Amino acid sequence: MRFPSLGQALAAVPCNAPRKAPAFYRGSVPLAGRGSYDPGVIPPCVKSWALCDPRSLRGVRGILTDIDDTLTSDGVIPLGAVAALAALREAAVPVIAVTGRPMGWSRDIAAQTPLAAIVAENGAVAVFADALVERGVRIEYADDTATRGANAVRLHAVAARIVAEVLGATLARDSPGRVTDIAIDHGEFAHLDAARIAQVVALMQGEGMQATVSSIHVNGWFGTHSKLTGAAWVVRRLFGRNLDAERGEWLYVGDSTNDELMFAAFPLSVGVANLADFADRLQQWPAFITEHDRGRGFVEVAQAVLAARGA
């Protein structure tokens, strides 16, 4: 598959065009739009991304990024962000997506988007484009088959309990593609208020699960894996590198409370502007925040990394 350069694609993307296409990425999302966020909610220690010293970006080995509301806007990846991914690939800067989304949802995106890999289900699953395997995508798991089988029974039981006990709680619509976790929709197609989100988290934790809250779902799983362990696994798997030993040379981009672990782990951590939506719940902010929100914010990050390398 051939992708346009960043400049070509951005020039071709109409701003404020109607949003019609149902595909998971499209060119009609207004890339020129800015979020209307109150700068007063951003702590002074979080710098504007525009102030990042280009010298600190020259040695970046790769970018790790969340997907929902970081690469995507309204559930799709705008063409400008796809072009940014293509331009980074062209410049030999691999981008690995690290998401709470399921294996089933990630498979098509891994096959058709210029990502080096997707770490799905909060670190439990790795999805790689590979032309040599069926459907062009290779799937690998952090846990062995026996562990996944035993956990599946427990996951099913906890999911049933949440739906029965938390008023209005429903499973996320992408649940059929999930293999190692459960997800409760709080903001994608359903709405749960903060008290009910907290109730879901507490119930998951009470059952011995890990739980995180993304911009759209509450995810819960058994095991010690996380976005950070999953990223380290895939960096080792793809490049033979030790991510824990070189965190200063990788950049992380995210948008919500389920990115806090990664914000804390990477000195070059960036929030897209809509991170401000979580200002009242964030305990760990990134080092930088972009001017623009969602996919346009990611493009802002890519442009700076590419410019610092002279690409």
Binding site for Mg ion (CB under 5 A): 66, 68-69, 214-215, 255-256
Q: Choose between 69 and 277: whose C-beta lies nearer to Mg ion.
A: 69
What's the one-letter identity of residue 163? V
Q: How far apart are CA 73 and CA 76, in angstroms?
A: 6
In contact, 271 and 255? CB cutoff 8 Å: yes
Work out the number of other CB atoms within 10 angstroms of the CB of residue 213: 24
Beta bridge partners of 117: 96
Q: What is the DSSP pairing of strand 95-98 with strand 62-65? A: parallel
Q: How far apart are CA 154 and CA 130, in angstroms?
A: 32
Q: Choose between 143 and 277: whose C-beta lies nearer to Mg ion.
A: 277
Min dist CB 46 to Mg ion, Å, is: 17
Q: Choose between 73 and 215: whose C-beta lies nearer to Mg ion.
A: 215
Min dist CB 100 to Mg ion, Å, is: 8
Min dist CB 294 to Mg ion, Å, is: 9
Q: What angle do CA 207, 210, 212 make, to 5 degrees?
A: 125
Q: Choose between 225 and 227: whose C-beta lies nearer to Mg ion.
A: 227
Q: Choose between 143 and 259: whose C-beta lies nearer to Mg ion.
A: 259
Q: Choose between 233 and 252: whose C-beta lies nearer to Mg ion.
A: 252
Among candidate residues 33, 222, 35, 215, the one with its CA nearest the CA of residue 121: 222
In contact, 74 and 29? CB cutoff 8 Å: yes
Chain residue whose CB lies nearest Mg ion: 68
Min dist CB 103 to Mg ion, Å, is: 17
Min dist CB 66 to Mg ion, Å, is: 4
Q: What is the DSSP pairing of strand 268-271 with strand 288-289? A: parallel
Among candidate residues 296, 267, 299, 304, the one with its CA nearest the CA of residue 284: 267
Min dist CB 272 to Mg ion, Å, is: 9
Among candidate residues 296, 299, 269, the one with its CA nearest the CA of residue 284: 269
